[in-house]
Amino acid sequence: DTGVSQNPRHKITKRGQNVTFRCDPISEHNRLYWYRQTLGQGPEFLTYFQNEAQLEKSRLLSDRFSAERPKGSFSTLEIQRTEQGDSAMYLCASSLGDRGLDTEAFFGQGTRLTVV
């Protein structure tokens, strides 16, 4: 399977704990995105990378969130000191190209986070 892979698929954690999610993009895709989706809403942009460089981070993202893509391949999203409001589906996507020349982004199945 050469699609976007996200792990874990589900995560239940206690409030205040740290969690880390992993995304493996499609090989040779140089752009990688993280989105968050809550019930009844569309995916909300969090951040994206061009290779290993983080190009933009949403101002809605608090300092508790950090993302890395150390070698321009897989990426991790860490949430520190989780809060109940962090409960959501976290989606990763990847695409080829630059400046929208290849506009199709492929999404993974997501990681569903529940903070109790």
Partner 1 sequence: DQQVKQNSPSLSVQEGRISILNCDYTNSMFDYFLWYKKYPAEGPTFLISISSIKDKNEDGRFTVFLNKSAKHLSLHIVPSQPGDSAVYFCVGNQGGKLIFGQGTELSVKP
Q: Is 8 in the site for partner 1 (CB under 8 A)?
A: no
Q: Report the site for partner 1 in 62-81 (rule: CB under 8 A).
A: none
Residue 34's closest CA among 65, 84, 77? 77
SS3 101: coil
> Number of residues in contact with partner 1, rule: CB under 8 A?
28
**What is the helix, strand, coil percentage profile of the chain, to 5?**
5, 50, 50
CB closer to partner 1, 27 vs 103? 103
Nearer to partner 1, 4 or 113 (CB): 4
Which amino acid would we find at residue 76? T
Nearer to partner 1, 50 or 73 (CB): 50
